[in-house]
Homo-oligomer: A and B are copies of this chain.
Amino acid sequence: MATQKPALAKGTRDFGPKEVQKRKYILNSIESVFKKFGFMPLETPAMENLATLEGKYGDEGDKLLFRILNSGDYLKDLKEFQNNTSIDTTNLPSSTGNVSDLDSKAASKFISEKGLRYDLTVPFARYVVMNRNDITFPFKRYQMQPVWRADRPQKGRYREFWQCDADVVGSDSLINEVELIQIYYEVFTTLGIDFKIRVNNRKILEGIAEYFNCNHRFSEFIIIIDKLDKIGYEGVFKELNDAGFINDSNRAILDSPELGLFKEGIQQIYPTFESQLKRLNSLFEDRNSEIGSHGVSELEKVLKLLDKSCKQFVELDIFLARGLSYYTGSILEIVATKGTLKSSIGGGGRYDNLTGIFGLPNVSGVGISFGLDRIYDVMEELNLFPNTVNRASSTQVLFCHFDEATQEYCLPALKVLRDAGIAAEVYPDVIRKKPIAKQLDYANALNIPYAAIAGETEMQQHVFNVKNLQTGEQTLIGTEELIRLINPFI
């Protein structure tokens, strides 16, 4: 076979030892909080039937699904179809039998029936419906797995990336919102990331739409509001104006400092959450907007039940919509507040009828998601990973030697260390030329803190020449002392 120059598939990444350690540190931190809050793990397969995936993410999502070619003679069905002119051909591949007339989208129905997981929510809904009789509701599940999207790769956007979700299904209680906000608080506090938690409620957005008499064009209204990150407040106000939702005389209501919409470049005293809600309430009462008032009272309840230490990180952002039209109640978003990457590092909300499409109606759910890659980037930029995580190897001691005999002398000590729970290695090869230099190079490259060197003399004295590779300090000690040097608590 000819030699190949290997490459990664476009938009995918390898994670070497250091990166895995750091990613696992984030994942473990999130997971242990999920568990402490009573969430249970779920894992679903990478491949789902296309019937499960298609139509769930909009036309754009359908385009971004990775489809898996059927195994074996996958063209068989397509050929059969093309040879059988009695079938209804609307919207299906041409039946001229000619390849040039085939349409990629239509043909794929015949040659692919599975796709790669696009998110964790749809597989979760499928799982809930398939296991409805065995699940105890409310069902609190977390799921941390990769997903795949055939997006155009660019900086910070990959075709394979991880999602970490926690959802509660089968409970209408706002306590769930409170718990999910506290999970965010606890995870980001643990990780040392500065953050704020933006909250809103779809009912408040609907109330605002009612206030401006545009509830009949609600989705249009949301689409404009959702452009905030791209076009800024002035842009949003202009588009709302152009679309006839607001005008010069009533925009001041939205624009008032009491509602807390932040205008770029203008220093503004941020109102309290309570004063924002109070102002909203009076607006909604003016217009008898029941839905708006309902949204305010939901947020009031969440706010009331939040722990004080957590509450100070929570802000009401009445323009927070998070695009996803399936949120029906609370909407949450986490933003990192330090570093150059100030974008969202997590988000979520309440959605009704998640499982309806799979035949289980009226199941309310609420969930949050953590953006692993963005959290990683923030922590990397701000140097937030602890030192213990910041190295590729877990090894504490490398045993170094000069020949077969001294190498063999290291083995029982190596075992004693490992039995004491200390990660340790012996350099596997016997090096004839500059043995110690070569072995210390290895230890230094892997950031191994100690080298235990065994020469003829050490072997005779039943000790090792232990070198601290950071300070250069050396000391002749036995195995027990070596253990205590590394872990004084054993």
Interface residues of A (CB under 8 A from B): 1, 3-9, 12-17, 19-21, 23-24, 35-38, 40-49, 51-52, 55, 63-64, 66-69, 71-76, 78-79, 82-83, 97-100, 102-104, 107-108, 111-112, 114, 116, 126-127, 129-131, 136, 138, 140-141, 146, 148, 150, 159-160, 168, 171-173, 175-176, 179, 182, 186, 305, 307, 356-359, 392-395, 398, 407-408, 411, 415, 418, 421-426, 428-430, 441-442, 445-446
Contact = CB atoms under 8 A, between A and B. Distances in A.
A484 B392 CA distance: 38
Nearest first, the 6 A-B pairs at minimum CB distance are A38-B425, A12-B45, A17-B40, A20-B41, A136-B445, A173-B428
30 contacts: A1-B55, A3-B359, A4-B51, A6-B51, A6-B52, A7-B51, A12-B46, A14-B131, A15-B44, A17-B41, A20-B41, A24-B41, A37-B425, A40-B393, A40-B394, A46-B46, A73-B104, A75-B107, A76-B104, A78-B99, A82-B99, A82-B100, A83-B100, A136-B441, A136-B446, A171-B429, A173-B428, A175-B426, A307-B411, A307-B415
A42 B68 contact: no
Quickly give the copy total for this chain.
2
Contacts of A45: 8-9, 12-14, 160
Contact of A47 (B55, B138, B159, B175): B159
Of A40, A78, A182, A407, most buried by chain B (CB within 10 Å of CB) is A40
Contact of A14 (B37, B42, B51, B392): B42
A304 to B, nearest CB: 8
A385 to B, nearest CB: 15
A3 B148 contact: no
A78 B8 CA distance: 24
A395 B41 CA distance: 12
B69 A172 contact: no
B411 A305 contact: yes
Of A8, A67, A72, most buried by chain B (CB within 10 Å of CB) is A8
Contacts of A102: 75, 79, 99
Contacts of A76: 104
Of A38, A51, A307, A430, most buried by chain B (CB within 10 Å of CB) is A38
A418 B173 contact: no
A76 to B, nearest CB: 8
B6 A130 contact: yes
Contact of A168 (B75, B398, B428): B428
Contact of A428 (B3, B100, B175, B307): B175
A104 B74 contact: yes
Nearest to A426: B175
B6 A358 contact: yes
A182 B412 CA distance: 13
A108 B111 CA distance: 11
Contact of A46 (B36, B148, B421): B148
Contact of A79 (B99, B116, B172): B99
Contacts of A68: 66-69, 116
A17 B97 contact: no
A112 B36 CA distance: 44
Contact of A43 (B15, B38, B141): B15
A456 B426 CA distance: 64
Given A6-B130, A38-B394, 17 more contacts: A4-B357, A6-B129, A7-B49, A17-B40, A20-B40, A36-B422, A40-B393, A46-B116, A66-B71, A67-B69, A69-B69, A78-B99, A79-B100, A99-B99, A173-B430, A175-B407, A179-B428
Nearest to A5: B359
